[in-house]
Structure 1
């Protein structure tokens, strides 16, 4: 195969031009006199050069003037623009610039001087590239704006969350805090930024929590509770969670702080524990009450007849009567214990209010200390109240102790006054000259679990109990108090009218008691010693007695012995209890007088009693039993029954 002959210089130049016409970048060459030497096809297409302008030898100035007149360089004086560009071209300096043509095409222009003089210029269409960059820039700006909005949204959320939120860097400085965190310290978020934890927290708090912060810096999550006294004087229980902030390489950058107020949660837990303790006390009280009151029934039942038979005045006054009073006091103490333990329903009776106040004063004066005085001013015309004596005592004790606590050993006086209200009710005022209460506190004092005591030593149920007792008794309670002017409580209770069950002045044979003489009474109790005492009292009152040790046996006797005129039964017994016996007896004989005796305090609420029958609390004497039987008979006749 024959080899081709070498190309001539002219052929080589044409081949070079053909190759340059194939590239997608424009190229122009100008000689040292600034005349066009060469322009490729891409340059003509990109710049819009006509065939005439693209001829070799065309002056640089001609091409520049043509561009300027077409607006390639923007608005301005054409000659000035031509002059500036021609002058720059004569300097033959390397340059790179971008130019946006009137048609929107973006051209990148790069020029270099040639060794022989003149210069070469390359033109690149970067329109698509610039559009991509502009689109990317728009997306970046949009994303930045979205992130800014997201950050603002997160900041807003953080400020609305009911918790303190903060971020602490590795050096221990706050870099972020939300509004609630800053507000707790009476500061603005920007005032805390840059502070250290130890500079913000009270010294005693920092001494306690510093070990948790040190562990959090080491990457250990921490959770702890601590009481904090804030600048506004509030002392709150705060639960704090510290969670480390780690980089992708597990480097610790700092930690996040979440602080939550758990004061109410703690109070609720304390109240629950207090309620559980009260329930345990109630169970314990109920457990021992039956046996204890049975013992008191036996003791009192034997001491009273013994007192009647001993004529030695010294023995009676110095030994027997104190023993009887002590026995009654023991029964009252058990009723009070059951009331405090909430195991006994309200049992209203006639109460000498002035005497009650006097007893409370004797009880409390030694414990109040020398700095707090307790003054009792009881009007001699104060009527007896119809209320539960144990709960009345407990309520007044609560009010006095609350007043003493408010004075906080700073000294002062507490006054208890009794009088007759305008409408005849009993008025009891408990006042003090202590620090008083603001309107917010005054509005909440009767709420369950609410307490103003920072040490939470109280359950917050005392005034709730007082309010409940007074309202359940048909009375009212009002409070007046202002900061620095002390506190005034006014309690009103209904006055007692008529005879009161249980009064020793009543006669067993009187018109208000059931006539026991020549009556056959069914006595039911599982304690033989208790039956012995009750039988003796009933027989002494003129009754005949038939005994049974449980309700089932007593019911059989009732079915077989039609002469039974009344039933006196214990409540808590094996086989069949007293309430079941009373229910069955009323179905058999609707007009049968029945009285139930109990050493407990909760049966009346645990089971429904038949109409007209109430529970008497042991120990009780035959006078009270006779009155209760009479009331039971009256109620039965009024309501009617199967055999009336």
Structure 2
């Protein structure tokens, strides 16, 4: 293949620069213009005649100052200020608003021998040309044809100027070195591929992207350089570009042990005969952008779970109030009957587990306050082991190596019910991972995590003393892809109906909310270990022995029960009657206000917080207290956002027992006496 004359190579490089979507200018150490491209003039609205080799940098500043580009002030003072700053140019990136409203991103880099190169990007529009219209394609074709004609004319001039070839070649050699420096400085991956899919040019950034030297790419086939995985993604796009179509796409590749993403635009080069000679490649790294998109998607999932859980809690707790209330009454009245007791006890146990499930969901969505306390980890694991053994098949052995010497130090600050629930979830997952049998190990120990320990960063916790609890199995394990998604909400590898995909996600949320951290280690066919660390705390002080206080005696005061759900109202009414209170009922706050005004004997109001109508339970209590300050009020709620507030009456969470209701009523009596 014959070599092109030097001037042709310079024009070819200039043509390539003019195809960039970004503006480019290069000034030498004397602040005189050395190189530029057409987008530079267009983005900054400079007249073409202003751009010529050797033009002082001050002329461009003066042109902008005289048309008010830098605001009011003395134009010559503005010129002097900016020229002085340019002489000490350092790497910089800044944004600049043009008078026409366009926003430009300026990236400047000093050159080794003085001067600087500046890259201008119009960031008011999308950076990448994905959906060019047919009209734009025609414009591009016309531009290429014009450039081809210019190249042919330049070749003719070179032939006529053959006698000056030596001098021109030396000048072009310097120009090529400058353009190479510019291309290597531009923060973009640039390459040129001929019609045989052979690399003919790559810049420094492109070579570094594939961890190769530039000399190790030029002359090699695309498939050999990028590898089979990447080539399978880009082959179709490359063929379309070499057929004359300008195309934009994304691809991924393994890089530095992680998955990297690139956004690439292929611009075909069309010869004078209409045939495609090759394609320019303009690409850049979008890995961080992809990471941010994934983080946003995860945040949106979490927001959706929080919204769903908050509404679910109210309705589900109403159902549990009815279920537990009726079952508790049945157990109290007929508990000695074996035909009934054998069925009521497990039903009550399951209903109460439903209460814990709702608490876990609310904690995970950050709508339920934790109830942290000093938890005796050794005792909790012992109780948990007894519970787990009943659900394990005979071919799975359970070990829990916690020594007696360690037991006295194993106190963690956490919500005991949620901790037990999380560990039970880990154990059941381990059981499901060993269908053919194996060993399940639940262990705990006190650990110190200093600031420089890798575990501190891995758990993402501050330095300090922690209790580590690990649940390990030797089951089927997880591959890297499954492990990466294991804690995502709704992600599960179990068959439909066997898993919700929320267990690990909720456990991780609870642990983080408790000030701890969680990590999972797993390999296919080598088992899984789930380890959590929770802040270590001192054992609780021994409480003085006291006799259990009986439920407060009722004083027969008239109770107004305000509840819109008929079944819940029936259960609570029965509990109040059993406590010795006569009861009247209202379905909403408006009815309740009317009854309070008309019936002076009402001494206590028990009201749901969330009700239909213009007033909720809190607003109802405020109205009643304004008119009758001595009125005793108890609020009941099954909703996540109905936690007690300063100045509120007692708030009783659904579902509750008759004893819970009695204690709440007694508290209102004590407060009214005070």
Q: TM-score, normalised by structure 2?
A: 0.56
Residue 491 (structure 1) aligned with residue 491 (structure 2): no
Query: Whole-Å Cα distance in 2 between the matches of residues 524 and 349 of structure 1?
Result: 34
CA contact (8 A) 1:345 1:601 kept: no
* Residue pair 2:384, 2:424 contacting (<8 A) in 1 also: no
Are the structure 2 counterparts of residues 324 and 480 from structure 1 closer, same or farther at C-alpha, using a change threshold of 3 Å?
Answer: closer
Distance 1:315 1:260, change over 3 A: farther
* Aligned partners of 1:176 and 1:193 also within 8 Å: yes
Measured after TM superposition, the shift of residue 519 of structure 1 is 2.9
Asked if residue 152 in structure 1 is aligned to residue 152 in structure 2, the reply is: no
Is 2:568 aligned against 1:530? Answer: yes
The answer for the alignment partner of 1:443 in structure 2 is 457
1:616 paired with 2:643, answer no
The residue number in structure 1 matching 2:329 is 305
8 Å Cα contact 2:459/2:519 also seen in 1 = no
Selected match of 1:547 from 585, 590, 610 = 585
Q: 1:295 Cα deviation (Å)?
A: 2.4
Partners of 1:186 and 1:360 lie apart in 2 by 52
Shift of 1:620: 0.7
Equivalent in the alignment of 1:570: 608
Structure 1 counterpart of 2:208? 183
Structure 1 Cα separation of the partners of residues 662 and 410 of structure 2: 26
- Cα distance, 1:235–1:417 mapped onto 2, change above 3 Å: same
Q: Are the structure 2 counterparts of residues 237 and 146 from structure 1 closer, same or farther at C-alpha, using a change threshold of 3 Å?
A: closer
Task: Check the 8 A contact 1:612/1:632 in 2, yes or no.
Answer: no
For residue 244 of structure 1, the aligned residue among 268, 273, 276 is 268
Q: Does 1:392 align with 2:441?
A: no
Given that 1:470 and 1:493 are in contact with CA atoms closer than 8 Å, whether structure 2 keeps it comes out as no
Instruction: Report how far residue 621 of structure 1 moved.
Output: 1.0
How many residues of Structure 1 are paired with residues of Structure 2 in the alignment? Answer: 466
Distance 1:367 1:273 in 2: 37
1:518 equivalenced with 2:591 (yes/no) = no
Pairing 1:355-370 to 2, within 5 Å after superposition: 355=380, 359=384
Q: Residues of 2 paired with 1:328 and 1:210: CA distance?
A: 59
In 2, Cα distance between equivalents of 1:179 and 1:374: 57
Task: Please say if residues 335 and 344 of structure 1, whose CA atoms lie closer than 8 Å, have aligned partners that are also in contact.
Answer: yes
Q: Given the two structures, how large is their TM-score scaled by the length of structure 1?
A: 0.58
Change (3 A) 1:627 1:177: farther
What pairs with 1:36-55 in structure 2 (closer than 5 Å)?
A: none
Q: Is the 8 A contact 2:314 2:638 kept in 1?
A: yes
CA RMSD in angstroms, aligned pairs only: 5.2
* Match of residue 498 from structure 2: none
Whether the aligned pair in 2 keeps the contact of 1:446 and 1:467 (CA below 8 Å) is no
Moved more, 534-543 or 386-395: 386-395
Provide the rounded CA distance (Å) in 2 between the counterparts of 1:209 and 1:199.
13
- Distance (whole Å) between structure 1 residues aligned to residue 368 and residue 617 of structure 2: 18
The 1:465–1:330 alpha-carbon spacing in structure 2 relative to 1, beyond 3 Å, is closer
Give, in angstroms, the shift of residue 624 of structure 1: 1.7
TM-superposed CA distance for 1:243, in Å, is 2.9
Deviation string 1:518-537 (CA, Å, 9 cap, x unpaired) is 23333210112211211111
> 1:237 Cα shift?
3.8
Correspondence for 1:103: none
- 1: distance between equivalents of 2:413 and 2:591? 38
- Where 2:368 maps in the other structure, the secondary structure is coil
* Alpha-carbon distance in 1 for matches of 2:397, 2:196: 53
- Once the two structures are superposed, residues 575-624 of structure 1 have per-residue CA deviations (whole angstroms, 9 ceiling, x without a partner) of 121122233334445565433222332344xxx84524464332111222
**Structure 1 residues 305, 361: CA separation in 2 closer, same or farther (over 3 Å shift)?**
closer
3-state DSSP class of the match of 1:555?
helix
Point out where structure 2 has 5 or more consecutive residues left out of the alignment.
Answer: 1-161, 462-478, 490-502
User: Cα distance, 1:146 vs. partner?
Assistant: 5.3
2:508·2:518 contact (CA, 8 Å) conserved in 1? no
State the Cα distance separating 1:229 from its structure 2 match. Answer: 2.3
Question: Which has more radius of gyration?
Answer: 1
After TM superposition, list the pairs within 5 Å mapping 1:413-428 onto structure 2. 415-417=442-444
